[in-house]
Homo-oligomer: A and B are copies of this chain.
């Protein structure tokens, strides 16, 4: 089987897949999913963000966040033609960077993109990877089993009015698309209570819990839906929204009735575990398919 990059170049699926790994549990979940699919993987864990123990069972080479050249030559040495970048690199500090010369020459472009917000930074990454003859793949292509499927996932189904809230939230995320804002909103009784921007989903849910306690959000307990979806036009290869067991816990603490995501557009490391937790606390988890 062969795939084609944007320059029309064919790429052999039999070549090992390079996984640039940031923090969190997604990189390993993607690596395992690729292996289950019979794919050979080479991990390039970023020093300072990845636990050495978890990459031990894999062919791997440590890289630095600022070591673009070293990363490129490592994956060429291993015969990789396709790269997936997965995991977070929250709050890097200068000691973790270890800038090499290629990265330094890229800095003006990085800085410009950085100031322009996420979307630009991410298109810079994919552009640079493809300039070097590589193909950037998305975790959703390599590990589609980690995507939330359509419909009700656990034993709790959303009521029709809750689905209405969910669809309103999805329309809002889509309307926010041109502004490159967040991927999450909280809707209850056809009313928008929170919109995620720089704070992230957990912080937004924490705020909902506090606003409810303070009487600033007036909803019955177990009312309201967290909605997550990719921004329209977002490159899923470099920024795929995700939920996890913690999202379920935080949504529960915020007094919500459930979580609705765009089916096929949001990832979860351990869907079964997440759904079990949702069932335990009585939350619905739903994949919106429209």
Contacts and interface: CB of A to CB of B under 8 A. Distances in A.
Interface in A172-186: 172, 175-176, 178-182, 186
A115 interface: yes
B168 A179 contact: yes
Interface residues of A, number: 37
A246 interface: no
- Copies in the assembly, this chain: 2
B179 A172 contact: yes
A105 interface: no
Contact of A179 (B175, B186, B194): B175
Interface in A44-90: none
Contacts of A200: 216
A189 B91 contact: no
B194 A199 contact: yes
A192 interface: yes
Contact of A180 (B117, B181, B192, B218): B192
Interface string A185-221: 0100111111111111001000110010011111000
A197 to B, nearest CB: 5
A217 B200 CA distance: 11
